[in-house]
Structure 1
Amino acid sequence: MPRSVFNAISLCLGLALSLSSRAGEVQVAVAANFTAPMQALAKQFEQAAGHRVVASFGATGQLYAQVRHGAPFELFFSADASTPQKLEQEGLAVAGSRFTYAIGSLVLWSAREGYLDGTDAVLRAGRFRHLAIADPQTAPYGQAAVQTLQQLGLSDALQGKLVVGQSIGKALHFVSTGNAELGFVALSQVYRDGQLSSGSAWRVPAELHDPIRQDALMLKRGRDNPVAAALVEYLQGAQAAAIIQSYGYQLATGH
């Protein structure tokens, strides 16, 4: 949300929150790739503000369908920019509330140490049984994986090896459990504080797929909830930025 909008909101917000000693809550829909960062952000927000964040995680397309069918979400954190734009156009969001909260990175990851050498060599060799990706129809990271394979000229050769998960979280599960030797996942799922948490990886060059610009917005259900506005304002601050970057995301220019 543009800073000017929140400058106006914050005046009313401070009064509203100061008048109430009861903890409030906000219902948020969050793209699966942002699960760990949101959990960390929610914990910090709850400790600082005393309010509860109730988060539901899933593929962007699935969450969008739930919003369309009346799910009680107040904020929507997408894995792309087009879905929030669509929600605005359909009148389901607060006008002018959309903002870019993170820019994601795609990584080819294996749970096995040393399996990947930081390049696409293993992918090109094709000597594996299964390659996990998220469903490109509902998950932007899955779409980015498909685009990467197309740019590398490997789509046809690897088509029969693909294992498709409903979300990027499911794709990660396939690889972490050994049901797939490797898979395309979000960097944030396997990265923290400048290094891989486990396994081995190849960080996919950004030019191999469309930018993964992740936008959020306030849904109509959240416009009268001061806790929803407070969470968005917190997410645009320095403390939140540090947490988001620690998971390998970039921030939008001018953040």
Structure 2
Amino acid sequence: MRRCGHQVNRLINPRLITLCLTALLLFTSVTSWANSRIQVAVSPEFEQPIRALLQEYRQQQPSTITEVLVIPTKDFRNNLRSGTQNEVAFYIGFTLKEGLKLVQRGNADEVRQFVDGQLALWAPQESARDLDVLLLQDRLITLPDPTVSPYGQAALEALNAAGLKSRLSKRLVEAPTLKDNALFIRLGDVGAGFFNYRELLSMQVAPARDVLRIPQRMYQPIHYSMILLNQSNRDRAVQRLVRYLTSEDARPALLQAGYL
């Protein structure tokens, strides 16, 4: 019995236990270091293309784990002011102008231009080739509120460039929301409407033959930005991901999603 007890004591030698625990902690530390976790936030319109790109990136960088938060720009702006987004590496969804303001106010570390939005006209059953199609009818034309939406302002600029703004001014009405804009057209309450092309695509309500993408030369570019937060611009894993999302490799997916 004494001999057996002596062997048991040797098996549970405190020094051996200490060595095992040290090795376990070291392994856990190395594993944590090798796998980078990056929290990304996007506005709803960017969710689908960014998720697709991150899935492709994970195949190239298996050690990088990304978490996507979908937060409207208004809510994210409020979160920044209250300091409740301490783990987000970067956010995609603000216009470049808005992003620059956030950096100036100290709410973000850095801003980078990401993609450009496209203005589109949905004119059902008109197979529009240019904005002159609006002269073929005498019905109302909807557009987003120009005071809050860059697409509403772009619509006015495009009409002005086409020499149609004054001729159509009495028929222009502001749609409260994107969904309202689409609903008015589907119900036949209005004859045509201006949209963010990306969001019009995502709703899948307008046949391609009825959608006219307005040439960008007819309105001021709508630049979207990527804002870097929480000193993430110093993180190598974040830098690699940002380089990928802004590289030519990511362009096809963004073009397909309706951006320029």
TM bucket, shorter chain: 0.5 to 0.7
- Closer, same or farther in 2 for the Cα pair 1:109/1:64, shift >3 Å? farther
Deviations along 1:138-173, one digit per CA (max 9) or x if unpaired, are 33223212332344442684455424244xx54664
Match of 2:129 in 1: 118
Match of 2:68 in 1: 54
Q: What runs of 5+ residues in structure 1 fail to find an aligned partner?
A: 1-15, 251-255
Q: How do residues 22-171 of structure 1 correspond to structure 2 at under 5 angstroms?
A: 24-30=37-43, 32=45, 34-46=46-58, 48=60, 49=62, 51-56=65-70, 58=72, 60=73, 63-72=76-85, 73-78=88-93, 80-94=95-109, 97-110=110-123, 112=124, 114-129=125-140, 131-151=141-161, 152-154=163-165, 157-158=168-169, 161-166=172-177, 169-170=178-179
Alpha-carbon distance in structure 2 between the residues aligned to 1:221 and 1:173:
40
- Closer, same or farther in 2 for the Cα pair 1:155/1:35, shift >3 Å? farther
SS at match of 1:116: coil
User: Is 1:105–1:249's contact at 8 Å kept on the other side of the alignment?
Assistant: yes
Alpha-carbon distance in structure 1 between the residues aligned to 2:95 and 2:254:
16
**Identity over aligned pairs, percent:** 21
User: How far does residue 200 in structure 1 lie from its aligned partner after superposition?
Assistant: 1.1
User: How far does residue 42 in structure 1 lie from its aligned partner after superposition?
Assistant: 3.5
Alpha-carbon distance in structure 2 between the residues aligned to 1:155 and 1:53:
48
User: Is 1:26–1:52's contact at 8 Å kept on the other side of the alignment?
Assistant: yes
User: How far does residue 83 in structure 1 lie from its aligned partner after superposition?
Assistant: 0.7
User: How far does residue 246 in structure 1 lie from its aligned partner after superposition?
Assistant: 2.6
Alpha-carbon distance in structure 1 between the residues aligned to 2:50 and 2:33:
27
SS at match of 1:99: strand
User: Is 2:121–2:211's contact at 8 Å kept on the other side of the alignment?
Assistant: yes
User: How far does residue 63 in structure 1 lie from its aligned partner after superposition?
Assistant: 4.5
Higher helix share: 2
Alpha-carbon distance in structure 2 between the residues aligned to 1:74 and 1:189:
25
User: What amino acid is aligned across from residue 200 of structure 1 in structure 2?
Assistant: D
Determine whether 1:19 maps to 2:33.
yes
Alpha-carbon distance in structure 2 between the residues aligned to 1:45 and 1:158:
47
- Closer, same or farther in 2 for the Cα pair 1:99/1:139, shift >3 Å? same
- Closer, same or farther in 2 for the Cα pair 1:225/1:82, shift >3 Å? same
User: Is 1:77–1:216's contact at 8 Å kept on the other side of the alignment?
Assistant: yes
- Closer, same or farther in 2 for the Cα pair 1:52/1:197, shift >3 Å? farther
The count of residues paired between Structure 1 and Structure 2 equals 223
Alpha-carbon distance in structure 1 between the residues aligned to 2:237 and 2:184:
37
User: How far does residue 201 in structure 1 lie from its aligned partner after superposition?
Assistant: 1.8
Cα-Cα RMSD: 3.8
With structure 2 as the length reference, what TM-score do the two structures score? Answer: 0.66
User: What amino acid is aligned across from residue 56 of structure 1 in structure 2?
Assistant: V
